[in-house]
Chains A and B, each alone.
Chain A
């Protein structure tokens, strides 16, 4: 098993004919992902990379039974594309697009309320269940099938951490990039819950960073609902204060945006903190060996 995507995933790509969409769709197909449809308004009826293209998500779902969407739509149109996918009843939407206006995402979140779709991202590398399905832009070859779940707000730091695991012979059940935006579709806590319920995941790596409250929320879940070990790293201990966090924005979370506060919360909840970002793999190895 794994979470979110596996051999039964029938992937639809929104924005398949664009340059990034084309490049990464090709890579996903080569990895073995079942890409069943593409959507580009105005190009319906054509084929791209051997995949049938439709004008609307609704039509693509009706004709191909797609059950997940991977999105490469430019930022100005991305929120609309997410809304279209939610409306079409796609259960999993993975949005790679970086640069979507925050107020657009406020509307997306409002529309998600009470609906069953799960959104991953935006501004994320996507999701991969090694050996089964790659729905994202990560390099497939660095992954190894196995039993450690990875969830992260970062892209390349995740690649590095996954490489550390693979180099040590530790495979991954699923790696989820939840993205670096302030209003992500899925949070750490959401994904931890899925890993907790997944029979094939024995331990989880959580890679957080400064800003927001998500790591603290994850800590709450670890304390109350997580029996599997969690290894955590929070990037940005040396980040200068106030460079990205607006001063009134800090009021809701207090000083919670700092790496030290997040590390404290995770540690108190029982997560094992990796001493530095180069020892995430080693820390996981120690935990697995001690079990």
Chain B
């Protein structure tokens, strides 16, 4: 789960990690007021769940409270399009108004879980302020890494390796040591999957400050962090994805095609998307229905398909294991009874309780295209979307 920069900075503050003075505002008047409190030049930053804000015009400098009010007004209520968002962009409903910091150096610091060593890894670099992937490409030797054994946790020697490695000196070593230990404590306490400070600046006066911060949390651990759950901003999600989640379909990802997909299992769902492309079509979505005990999620999936104007055909591919085929069939029939389905439906069923499922479909009288196997389903869905088969 992602959160906004201003929320991440509040958490950093709770963990004694210095951040620039500032606050979030939801209106231009409020932004002006915060700017007046701070005094002098301020930076106004659009709060969205996407990188590349600077280049997209989402970060602006204001020299006076009046100007802060103006630029906040230009950002609030708009949708920001960056290289990480789709062309529709993401809504800006808050801006962060902060003091400007004169920086002597821009560094990079992050913690994430390394899948190879299966340990948390802290990464630091002197080349902060740019995307770390670019540094990894152009100058991998500039990225320092330490792996942290959970049995001993983060130790002072870890931070000395990174701090001296980044050519910090004097009091900065002590400050960096404290800051890194605090970031690790935050990472562990809150079950982060990524804690990133980029840039970590050395200010003109020698202080270390988190100028930008990104925190991502492990969805599987949210159950034990009520405080983090409350930080979720549903508005940042794609509207169809948000709607799907609300209807209990957590594994829905919008894609760019016109064939709606309903599949059980993540691997099979990806494979269905791949096979559609192999057959010359494009999937409108990835949808793993998960394990079903009742037909509700199938009915709700159809609601998403009918709400998606791009859909020209729907492919249902179910391999019953824990999920019973007859339950899925009930859901399909119920959905077709509830609303007029404006597109052809291709159905491929296999596995647990197949006969019962087929009987339910046959007796319902609903119109659908039957597929005999995986490949047949994808091929027929592609043809149906082109209007070849009705």
Q: Which residues of A does B touch, CB under 8 Å?
A: 20, 75-76, 99-107, 109-110, 125, 137-139, 142, 152-160, 163, 180, 182-183, 207, 209-210, 212-214, 217, 233, 235-240, 242-243, 246-254, 259, 275-279
Check if B267 sits within 8 Å of A152, measured CB to CB.
yes
Check if B113 sits within 8 Å of A106, measured CB to CB.
yes
- Counting CB contacts under 8 A, is B176 at the interface? no
If A75-B223, A249-B113 are given as contacts, then 16 extra A-B residue pairs at C-beta distance below 8 Å, sorted by A number, are: A99-B220, A102-B113, A103-B218, A107-B150, A154-B268, A156-B265, A160-B319, A163-B319, A183-B115, A235-B268, A238-B255, A242-B84, A247-B84, A252-B115, A276-B274, A277-B274
- The residue among A142, A210, A246, A279 with the most chain B CB atoms within 10 A of its own CB is A246
- Counting CB contacts under 8 A, is B132 at the interface? yes
Q: Within 8 Å CB of B130, what residues of A?
A: none
Given A159-B319, A251-B123, A251-B136, decide whether A154 and B194 contact each other with a Cβ distance below 8 A: no
Check if A238 sits within 8 Å of B277, measured CB to CB.
yes
Chain B: CB-nearest residue to A20: B322
- The residue among A138, A152, A237 with the most chain B CB atoms within 10 A of its own CB is A237
Q: Which residues of B does A touch, CB under 8 Å?
A: 51, 84, 110, 112-116, 118-121, 123, 131-133, 136, 143, 149-151, 188, 191, 193-194, 196, 214, 216, 218, 220-221, 223-224, 253, 255-256, 263-268, 270-278, 282-283, 286, 319-322, 350-352, 373-375, 378
A286 to B194: give the CA distance in the assembly, Å: 45
Chain B: CB-nearest residue to A108: B118
A254 to B133: give the CA distance in the assembly, Å: 8
A38 to B194: give the CA distance in the assembly, Å: 38
Check if B115 sits within 8 Å of A278, measured CB to CB.
no
A to B CB contacts below 8 Å, 6 in the list: A102-B193, A103-B218, A156-B267, A183-B113, A214-B115, A248-B196
Check if A156 sits within 8 Å of B132, measured CB to CB.
no
A12 to B136: give the CA distance in the assembly, Å: 47
Check if A100 sits within 8 Å of B220, measured CB to CB.
yes
Chain A: CB-nearest residue to B255: A240
Partner of B351, one of A139, A240, A252, A278: A139
A287 to B263: give the CA distance in the assembly, Å: 30
